Amino acid sequence: MERRRHEHEARLMAIYSGLRRMLFALEAETSHDFALAALAGASRSRIATALLAKCNRRRDLPRKVMGINFPNPVGLAAGLDKRARACNALHALGFGWVELGAVTPLPQPGNPKPRIFRLPEQHALINRMGFNSGGLASFVRNLARAAPGIIKGVNIGKNAATAMDDAHADYAACMEAVHMHADYISVNISSPNTQGLRDLQEEGALAPLLAALNRKRGELAEASGRRVPLVLKIAPDLGGGALDALAGVARKHRIDGIAATNTTLSRDGVGHALAGEVGGLSGAPLGARATETVARLSRNLQGEIPIIGVGGIDSAEDALEKFEAGAELVQIYTGFIYRGPRLIGEIIERLRARQARPAEKNVHSANPKARCA
């Protein structure tokens, strides 16, 4: 049985390697659209998702975080499936959960193309998508079609045309539309590609935004009997003082989780011809910066608010660093593009092996609750 599973997995990996060569020969966004269309197609077929899931049976490593029972602690980060079309297939690839979106209230095209650039030598990407979104109506229709039982986070944003002073209304509209179908809602205030968005991370702007969203959440909980956890998605480019201030506001407003981090504007250590492209950098060169953000948050929050570690995870060791810094869950995006679904399995196997050796010293963790790894 085990041998057959390994053979099946090896076959899938061989198919992925071939697919990857083909996809990487295409322009970055074209290959993204092509792969996502294939996954969306597979999502509509029970046979296809069952075939994909067949090689992922040992991807269970349950974690309860924010009151949610995650089947394993490795999630897909936001931005890959912005229209919630490929949820079933992405889940079947082994992710413990998928974060869908960002969705904005109204459809908008995002920035002109080209807007994603590969830096393959560094296992990195630069993107300036600018919240390309099909809008809430079609997003919610797709979301409602996802197979039951899949844990889904929904990443929400604001339309570019909405004035910053009215941003809270866009987030509230998104919250209201998706809350029935979402296991948690991630408030994206950290995309570098929407003008002014990151200013919402400042204490003076964040406090009224979270107060408004908590009011909306209260109303929705009263009407539906369901309180949906709220996660803040933050940037890796905040100074230490700003990060501590943000943690204080999040604590005061009883935010349920913090996802650290989004892409970076920094190009430190990225010697690449495309490094000058405008946008957010993701992938391996972001790793250390994102881990430092997790570690500082963790020291500040002392386990009071769980942290989702995201940014530059390209190997099982990278994921362990996030857990050791204080994360309770991790997410991947760029590592998944370069390494494929095998990265999910590698992380889970490494966590399992580590769990089997409880004496292994967790030297960095500042979060008493983050000993799960």
Ligand X SMILES: Cc1cc2nc3c(=O)[nH]c(=O)nc-3n(C[C@H](O)[C@H](O)[C@H](O)COP(=O)(O)O)c2cc1C
Q: What crossing angle do the helices spanning 316-325 and 342-355 adopt, rounded to 10°?
A: 50
Give the whole-angstrom CA distance, residue 94 versus residue 349: 12
Q: Which amino acid is at 240?
A: G
Least distance between ligand X and beta carbon 283 (Å)? 5
Tell me which residue has its CB nearest to ligand X.
79
Closer Cβ to ligand X, 49 or 73, answer by number: 73
Tell me which stretch binds ligand X (CB under 6 A): 121-129, 200-208, 224-232, 243-251.
121-129
Indicate whether 201 belongs to the interface with ligand X (CB under 6 A).
no
Tokens of 136: 């809430």
Nearer to ligand X, 12 or 102 (CB): 102
Q: Judged by CB, which is closer to ligand X: 56, or 334?
A: 334
143 scored as a contact of ligand X (CB under 6 A): no
282 lies in the site for ligand X, by CB under 6 A = yes
Q: Is 316 in the site for ligand X (CB under 6 A)?
A: no
- The answer to the question of residue 257 lying near ligand X (CB under 6 A) is no
Nearer to ligand X, 337 or 372 (CB): 337
Residue 335 binding ligand X, by CB under 6 A: yes
Does 78 participate in binding ligand X (rule CB under 6 A)? yes
Q: Is 186 a catalytic residue?
A: no
* Pair of tokens at residue 93: 């690839």
Return the C-alpha torsion angle 328, 334, 339, 342, nearest 10. Answer: 40
Please name the residues in contact with 239: beta carbons below 8 A apart, sequence gap of 6 or more.
none
If the CB atoms of residues 88 and 262 are measured against ligand X, the closer one turns out to be: 262
293 binds ligand X (CB under 6 A): no
Rounded Cα gap, residues 251 and 260, in angstroms: 15
Binding region for ligand X (CB under 6 A): 77-79, 82, 101-102, 116, 125, 127, 129, 155, 188, 191, 233, 262-263, 282-283, 286, 310-313, 332-335
Active site (catalytic) residues: 191
